Chains A and B, each alone.
Chain A
């Protein structure tokens, strides 16, 4: 369309499709949950960057963890007549009426990071989420490969009891190691997704398993717990990363620092770039009428010490994690 946008788009990313440039006049509203975690902050930062890449006018409404604020934000986006609405739903239910309003206004809604209940209905265009069962499976498969047939006792730091992410990551990991009889989970406790609890639980695991001698690997449902567990291992005189393997999920910057120091082995990324695929889907839908599938799964990329962790740390540290 206009030359500047075209030049900008191609300069920012060579991989960008030509539709990116045509989206110049698009306005998209994003109802973000709030700043509940570092990952959420990174998602906001990355979403802004992705919007800029595509030259999209991007409006973010911070809901401060309240559904009523999100509903208000969606209504105001509808009133403004935006081209599309992104929604990171704080809870799964109670969206029917407001999403119907958006539908009547012919504004497509894309869910980011979380699905709503009932899923798959025609109230939204598509949901861009990661598959937390798959994340656990990637972690499990990495461990099976790394253990290479040798017996390996795993201790597991679970997320908050009852949280669906924790349940799924546990199930996925169990699926991942199901085929390998040499790898088995010997202890499993909740570390509530926090560093402090991860450290405390790991301390007791070490004592319960002969000072850590019986532990071959630690699997944590998130990186923060692993950072705590690494401290516990070091304080017990163990060498995480060499004596005890570590694998966790999320790929927050601090775990890359630990990987660069040789104290952590692997992490599976929960990408903060949910908006990128969502933008592409909306653009394709608007320009060509391509209806995307109801679920767009983001990539669960595995990072190890071989992936230049320091460089990844540098690229992630300013995203707001």
Chain B
């Protein structure tokens, strides 16, 4: 197991490296980093700072997908929690604000989890409900406008820095470390994989699949809440109409780029986060390139296709990015 991880991740890390090099080619100052007001400043830092919300979402999403579920509501949960945080920021202390926003995220996750695990609704339908309704809830909280705040405490979570690193990046790394500790430091990860692989067999083997399902959706809600707080703190306001819009799709894409199968089972949190940064590296590269905006989505689609093809076992496993077609002996490794 321990030996297989780096080999699995090769194609993602090579892809990230290639995209960063491509960014450097279109924009030679890409790797320039300087200190600005005690905070690292440069395009490379932007990639990690801007990628933080999707990376946070993907940490929750990868667990949900490992259970053969899906969480379409994370974008809307971001909007709800961001709206709560921004509305309370100027009148309450930071711990209260965070507790309220994170609590709302957990509650949203609980709702999804109950629909899926207790009522047995298909995950895609169950979370679609909150995806649609959640944005409405967020708009109710903000009364349809952009709620701004001035609290420096909350602003720190979006624009501040810890040892030069932007706070969103630190929060993402922290959340990733915590999640890794929880699921890999204990048997929880194995149980999640088992539940995703075969829920019935897992239940018969004594795993509390129902509890684990609810817990994982709640964790996804928590990650989304954190992402929503970061997004609000970043623009010093809550934009219920646009915060987290379509980010659920980016998070799913990040998980898929990270090599986790939508059919559940084995997963990698680390690679999902790498996947999120691959997406953001691409976005930042497009912005730096000076291409006309009409081409943004086409460029993105081509790059995503290339990354996914590079991972395809039939396209020659670890010869990532080269598109070599002849390595058929390796094709048995993973499900396509």
Q: Using an 8 Å CB-CB cutoff, how does the interface string of B146-177 with A read, 1 for contact, 0 for none?
A: 10100000000001000000000000000000
- Which residues of chain B come closer than 8 Å to A210, judged between CB atoms? 29
Q: Are the CB atoms of B287 and A189 closer together than 8 Å?
A: yes
- Which residues of chain B come closer than 8 Å to A10, judged between CB atoms? none
Chain A contacts with B in 203-225, Cβ cutoff 8 A: 203-205, 207-208, 210, 224
Q: Are the CB atoms of B159 and A235 closer together than 8 Å?
A: yes
Closest B residue by C-beta to A192: B242
- Which residues of chain A come closer than 8 Å to B293, judged between CB atoms? 158, 161, 188-190
Chief secondary structure at chain B's binding surface: mixed
- Which residues of chain A come closer than 8 Å to B294, judged between CB atoms? 161
Q: Are the CB atoms of B239 and A195 closer together than 8 Å?
A: yes
A228 within 8 A of B: yes
Q: Are the CB atoms of B231 and A204 closer together than 8 Å?
A: no
With contacts A188-B292, A190-B296, A237-B37 taken as known, whether A200 is within 8 angstroms of B145 at the C-beta atoms is no
The CA-CA distance from A204 to B47 in the complex, in Å, is: 10
A36 within 8 A of B: yes
Q: Are the CB atoms of A224 and B145 closer together than 8 Å?
A: no
The CA-CA distance from A227 to B236 in the complex, in Å, is: 10
Q: Are the CB atoms of A321 and B234 closer together than 8 Å?
A: no
Q: Are the CB atoms of B27 and A38 closer together than 8 Å?
A: no
With contacts A199-B234, A204-B46 taken as known, whether A35 is within 8 angstroms of B139 at the C-beta atoms is yes
- Which residues of chain B come closer than 8 Å to A201, judged between CB atoms? 287
Q: Using an 8 Å CB-CB cutoff, how does the interface string of B128-156 with A read, 1 for contact, 0 for none?
A: 00000000000100011110100000000
With contacts A36-B241, A161-B296, A320-B145 taken as known, whether A207 is within 8 angstroms of B29 at the C-beta atoms is yes
B28 to chain A, nearest CB (A): 10
Q: Using an 8 Å CB-CB cutoff, how does the interface string of B227-242 with A read, 1 for contact, 0 for none?
A: 0000100111101011
Q: Are the CB atoms of B287 and A199 closer together than 8 Å?
A: no
B38 to chain A, nearest CB (A): 11
A67 within 8 A of B: no
Q: Using an 8 Å CB-CB cutoff, how does the interface string of A10-40 with B read, 1 for contact, 0 for none?
A: 0000000000000000000000000111100
B86 to chain A, nearest CB (A): 12
* Chain A residues packing against B (C-beta within 8 Å): 35-38, 41, 158, 161, 187-190, 192, 194-197, 199-201, 203-205, 207-208, 210, 224, 227-228, 231, 235-237, 254, 320-321
* Given A161-B293, A161-B294, 11 further pairs, Cβ under 8 A: A38-B146, A41-B144, A187-B290, A189-B287, A196-B231, A196-B243, A200-B283, A208-B29, A208-B288, A235-B159, A236-B36
